[in-house]
Amino acid sequence: MPPLIIAHRGDSAHVPENTLAAFAAALEEGADLVEFDVQLTKDGQVVVIHDATVDRTTTGRGRVRDLTLAEIRVLSAGYPSRFADTHRGERVPSLGEALAMLKDRARVMVEIKPDAVTDDAEGGIEARAVAEVRKAGMEKDVALLSFSRRALLRCRKLAPAIVRGHLFQKAEPGEVLAGAREVASELVMPEKHMLSDELRDRAREAGLKLATWVVDDPEELRRLARFDLYGVASNRPGVMLDAIREEE
Ligand code: G3P
Ligand code: CA
């Protein structure tokens, strides 16, 4: 079975990342899953943005946690340094908006960024993200991802039935397996350079799904086939899907 193609931050090579336009483009390309990142605003709203600050991808400046949703919503999320003003009408979506847009159209991976995780177990980003997923009625269509074990443990407690995916940037296979066990995740997502035969075999033995990121080159996708991946996140989901179709 070829891997599922996960649109990483949407169709982010072609449209500003983590915007509704990027998600629409990913759906258009036929992506199986859409991945995006979430942070928490000063007034406790979960918003779809990768960085801890708005500086890189919007027309504003400052930390997301120091800005209210209203202050963020006046900014363009059109990633002007990369896309000039082509997408200047895009706004930073709230998690609720992003879920509403994707509901019944794709499954969704919501990545809780570690810099948004605080000591607030009850009112922090995990609780608020879970509440939004429930409000959208998408418990079965969403996976909650994080590098943060603390966040994943909270998600487990708050919503054991929502799938969790443990992300890893650099770790030995034993650590990956132990991390997945601790948070009871059914999915592990090591960065692609971590993939090995040992990790594949141990994940398989443990009944874990294995996914990775970011793969934008069809040749690389072919090379990764031996790892029997459940999913591959790409900034160019359409190109990856075309490559898979060509192989069939
Ligand atoms: O899906 C995992 C991947 O998105 C993690 O890295 O920095 O792109 O959020 P990053
Ligand atoms: Ca991410």
Structural domains of the chain ordered from first start: 4-52+93-246 (3.20.20.190)
Ranges of residues in the chain with a pLDDT under 70 are none
Instruction: Please give the structure tokens belonging to residue 127.
Output: 């609780």
Q: How far is the CA of 37 from the centre of ligand 2 (A)?
A: 5
Q: Is the CB of 8 under 6 A from ligand 1?
A: yes
**Ligand 1 atom with the shortest distance to the CA of 37:** 9
Instruction: Kindly report the pTM of this predicted structure.
Output: 0.98
Name 39's Cβ contacts closer than 8 Å, sequence gap at least 6. Answer: 46, 47, 49, 51, 52, 64, 65, 113, 115, 116, 125
Residue 248's pLDDT is what? 85
Look at residue 10 in the predicted model and tell me its pLDDT: 98
Residue nearest to atom 6 of ligand 1 (CA): 213
**Cβ atoms 95, 132 nearer than 8 A:** yes
Q: Ligand 1: does its nearest atom lie under 6 Å from the Cβ of 35?
A: yes
- 77 C-alpha vs ligand 2 centroid, how far in Å? 17
Residue nearest to atom 4 of ligand 1 (CA): 8
- From atom 1 of ligand 1, which residue's Cα is the shortest distance away? 213
Cβ of 108 less than 6 Å from ligand 1: no
